């Protein structure tokens, strides 16, 4: 299936009589790849394909172009695409492969030279008329000098092109041994997954989840592994993608859910410490099955507590148009299951999901930790996610934790649960049972009472400036802060928050601007000039200045810091505090 798709492509708006096996595409005037290949098959001397490099081009989101500019506008785009390729690859073969795909077959260009032309192509096509910005991806296949089927060569270029779909910062990929092995694995999965189900090659591995505060195990994530007698462990990145593509992933997920409930029952009966176990649900579980019924049946079959089964819903499920998703999530939670949102931050709909659905836990996408050491922004983003979740009453978990530094940071900002290779990789259940004293008793596992206790502690938001304040669905700071605007030595408040208004009432100011008047009426007569000089110092050196004030019996500390200047107008942040 993977290797047959390029043959199924048809030209856009080519008319009912057009075929990719005809010589010329009526839209672009280019020869069709299939016709060109048929000619080289008849007479190999026409073109030395065995010494060529094939570059397969794919326009991202071509449907958007057709929708915005009509099919005629889409055809115009293809012709501009053709013109740019012919200019950049002058002297090489430029062909039409159907749909939004063009192909260049070259004899004289290195990969580096092709990569430069791909960059120039995207630059030329990125400002298409109407303000549409689009990207063109490419896959490169380099022939090794041996005769082979032309369609196989182009198919490999197409497969390389697919590798960069979804990666905005990658424009092309080259078909190599790694890709060859990957797609051979995918083909093997397609041909043998039925056998894998029948013979029990799918196993459940469990990765422990740890409480950040006490480093005790407080849960597990169930992960599918394919242990093949011929190929060893097949990567889940391979078989999950294939099973999703052929719409059989729900069958695997149902098997994992059943096995998880069975293993949980065995642990309970054997006297082992047991914890909640999370299973992953994808969009297709909701589309292709009654997933609530699947989970309920497994729970009833093995008589396990519902609160020990956690449903992790991936962000891809929320990106799809599933009308019943909210109802199913609500039904799960109403029945006592926990529902977590997985890979938070990986998709564009993350924050909308928090607004629309209710979750018990939020799992922070591990990609934020991958650049943890090199990108300071990652720390700020992670802290902001934890802060947001706490304000919404949602617990937090970070996955992909691999270093002590990452763990310590997450603990400091109040992330409650930790998962990753820093603590443990995923393991088969047998490994836990053979290491019972380490992993299967309550000296290293949370008890149910401890779980409730630490969940209560986890509600505290370390990142708020008022962590002891009762959590409410509102944003308010209890630090009295204002913005002062000055022009020609005359100052006024242009913003004050509620806390600032409350504190100035304590020393008799009726309005915020009366505070400024009192600052210049009280104290030594040279106070205004001193304050003005201090404000200038704050602006020049970007430092905070302080003044102690006395208003009757009230002692006050005021701080100011320069923010911005425009001509003679200047703005400062202003904070006051009772002493």
Domains and CATH numbers, the chain: 5-174 (3.30.70.270), 184-457 (3.20.20.450), 481-578 (3.30.450)
pLDDT digits (tens, 9 = 90+) for 398-436: 999 999 999 999 999 899 999 999 999 999 988 887 765
Q: Which of 273, 303, 277 is nearest to 450 (CA)?
A: 273
The closest of 113, 130, 129 to 121, measured between CA atoms, is 113
pLDDT of residue 468: 60
Residue 530 has pLDDT above 50, yes or no: yes
* pLDDT grade for 1, boundaries at 50, 70 and 90: very low
Residue 190: pLDDT band (50, 70, 90) is: confident
Residue 29 token pair: 């005037």
Query: How many other CB atoms are there within 10 angstroms of residue 160's CB atom?
Result: 24
What is the pLDDT, as a whole number, of residue 510?
A: 62
Q: Which residue has the higher pLDDT, 14 or 345?
A: 345
pLDDT given for residue 523 in this prediction: 42
Q: What is the pLDDT of residue 474?
A: 60
- 362 burial via Cβ count (<10 Å: 0-12, 13-18, 19+): buried
Average model confidence (pLDDT) for the chain? 82
Dump pLDDT digits (tens) for 138-153: 999 998 888 888 888 8
Rounded distance, CA 153 to CA 141, Å?
7
| Residue 118, token pair as written in the block | 């791909």
Q: How confident is the model at residue 528 (pLDDT cuts 50, 70, 90)?
A: low
Phi, psi torsion values for 311, nearest 5 degrees: -105, 115
Task: Indicate if the pLDDT at residue 57 is higher than 90.
Answer: yes
Nearest to 309 by CA among 277, 273, 280: 277
pLDDT confidence of residue 527: 46
Per-residue pLDDT for 14 more than 50? no
Cβ neighbors of 473 (< 8 A, separation 6 or more) are 391, 392
Say if residues 284 and 244 touch (Cβ distance below 8 Å).
yes
The torsion angles phi and psi of 321, rounded to 5 degrees, stand at -95, 75
Span of 166-175, 244-253, 375-384, 529-538 with lowest mean pLDDT: 529-538
How does residue 112 score in pLDDT terms, banded at 50, 70 and 90?
A: very high
pLDDT over 70, % of the chain: 83
* pLDDT tens figures, 290-343: 999 999 999 999 999 999 999 999 876 776 666 788 899 999 999 999 999 988
Q: Tell me which of 351 and 252 has the higher pLDDT.
A: 252
User: pLDDT (tens digit, 9 = 90+) per residue, 21-33?
Assistant: 567 888 888 889 8
Q: Average pLDDT for residues 278-292, to the nearest whole number? A: 92
- Predicted confidence (pLDDT) at residue 130 exceeds the cutoff of 60: no
Measured on CA atoms in the order 468, 470, 471, 476, is the torsion positive or negative? negative
What pLDDT score was predicted for residue 555? Answer: 77
pLDDT at 398: 93
- State pLDDT tens for residues 450-476: 898 888 888 888 877 666 666 665 655
CA separation for the pair 131, 63 (Å, rounded) = 16
pLDDT at site 79: 87
DSSP H helical ranges for 357-490: 367-370, 376-391, 404-412, 429-434, 436-439, 448-457
* C-alpha count within 13 angstroms, C-beta hemisphere, residue 189: 29
**Token code pair at residue 255:** 């098997």
Asked if 358 and 333 count as a contact pair (C-beta separation under 8 A), the reply is yes
Check residues 480 and 222 and name the one with the higher pLDDT.
Answer: 222
Tokens describing residue 460:
């505290």
Taking residues 90-119, what's their average pLDDT? 89
pLDDT for 22: 63
* % of the chain residues with pLDDT over 90: 28
User: Maximum distance among all alpha carbons in the chain?
Assistant: 103
pLDDT at 386 > cutoff 80: yes
Higher pLDDT, 559 or 442: 559
């Amino acid at each position: 299936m993977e290797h047959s798709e390029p043959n199924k492509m048809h030209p856009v708006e080519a008319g009912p009589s057009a075929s990719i096996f005809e010589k010329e595409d009526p839209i672009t005037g280019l020869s069709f790849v299939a016709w060109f290949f048929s000619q080289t098959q008849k007479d190999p001397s026409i073109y030395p394909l065995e010494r060529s490099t094939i570059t397969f081009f794919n326009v991202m989101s071509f449907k958007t172009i057709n929708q915005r500019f009509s099919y005629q506008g889409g055809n115009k785009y293809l012709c501009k695409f053709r013109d740019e390729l012919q200019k950049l690859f002058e002297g090489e073969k430029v062909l039409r492969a159907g749909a939004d795909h063009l192909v260049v077959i070259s004899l004289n260009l290195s990969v580096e030279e092709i990569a430069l032309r791909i960059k120039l192509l995207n630059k030329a096509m990125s400002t298409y008329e109407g303000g549409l910005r689009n990207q063109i991806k490419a896959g490169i296949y380099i022939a090794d000098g041996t005769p082979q089927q032309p369609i196989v060569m182009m198919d490999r270029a197409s497969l390389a092109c697919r590798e960069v779909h979804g990666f905005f910062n990658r424009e092309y990929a080259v078909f190599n041994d790694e890709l060859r092995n990957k797609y051979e694995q995918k083909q093997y999965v397609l041909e043998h997954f039925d056998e894998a189900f029948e013979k029990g090659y799918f196993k459940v591995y469990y990765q422990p989840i740890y409480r950040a505060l006490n480093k005790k195990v407080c849960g597990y994530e169930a992960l599918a592994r394919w242990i093949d007698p011929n190929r060893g462990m097949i990567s889940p990145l391979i078989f999950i993608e294939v099973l999703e593509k052929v719409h059989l992933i729900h069958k695997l997920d149902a098997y994992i859910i059943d096995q998880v409930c069975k293993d949980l029952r065995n642990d309970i009966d054997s006297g082992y410490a047991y914890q909640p176990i999370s299973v992953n649900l994808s969009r297709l579980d909701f589309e292709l099955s009654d997933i609530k019924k699947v989970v309920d049946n497994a729970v009833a079959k093995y008589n396990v507590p519902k609160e020990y089964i956690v449903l992790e819903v991936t962000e891809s499920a929320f990106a799809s148009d599933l009308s019943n998703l909210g109802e199913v999530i609500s039904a799960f939670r109403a029945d006592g299951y926990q529902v977590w949102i997985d890979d938070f931050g990986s998709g564009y709909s993350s924050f909308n999901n928090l607004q629309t659905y209710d979750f018990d836990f939020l799992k922070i996408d591990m990609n934020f930790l991958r650049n943890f050491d090199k990108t300071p922004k990652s720390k700020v983003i992670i802290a902001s996610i934890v802060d947001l979740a706490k304000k919404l009453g949602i617990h937090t978990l970070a996955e992909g934790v691999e270093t002590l530094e990452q763990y310590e940071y997450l603990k400091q900002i109040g992330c409650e649960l930790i998962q990753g290779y820093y603590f443990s990789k995923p393991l088969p259940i047998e490994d836990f049972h053979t290491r019972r004293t380490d992993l299967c008793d309550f000296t290293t596992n949370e008890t149910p009472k401890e779980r409730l206790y630490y969940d209560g502690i986890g509600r505290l938001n370390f990142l708020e400036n008022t962590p002891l304040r009762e959590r409410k669905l509102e944003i308010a700071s209890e630090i009295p802060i204002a913005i002062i605007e000055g022009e020609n030595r005359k100052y006024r408040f242009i913003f004050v928050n509620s806390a600032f208004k409350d504190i100035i009432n304590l020393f008799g100011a009726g309005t915020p601007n009366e505070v400024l008047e009192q600052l210049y009426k009280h104290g030594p007569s040279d106070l205004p000039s001193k304050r003005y000089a201090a404000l200038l110092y704050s602006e020049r050196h970007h430092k905070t200045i302080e003044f102690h004030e006395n208003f009757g019996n009230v002692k006050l500390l005021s701080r100011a810091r320069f923010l911005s200047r425009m001509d003679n107008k200047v703005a400062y942040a202003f904070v006051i505090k009772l002493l």
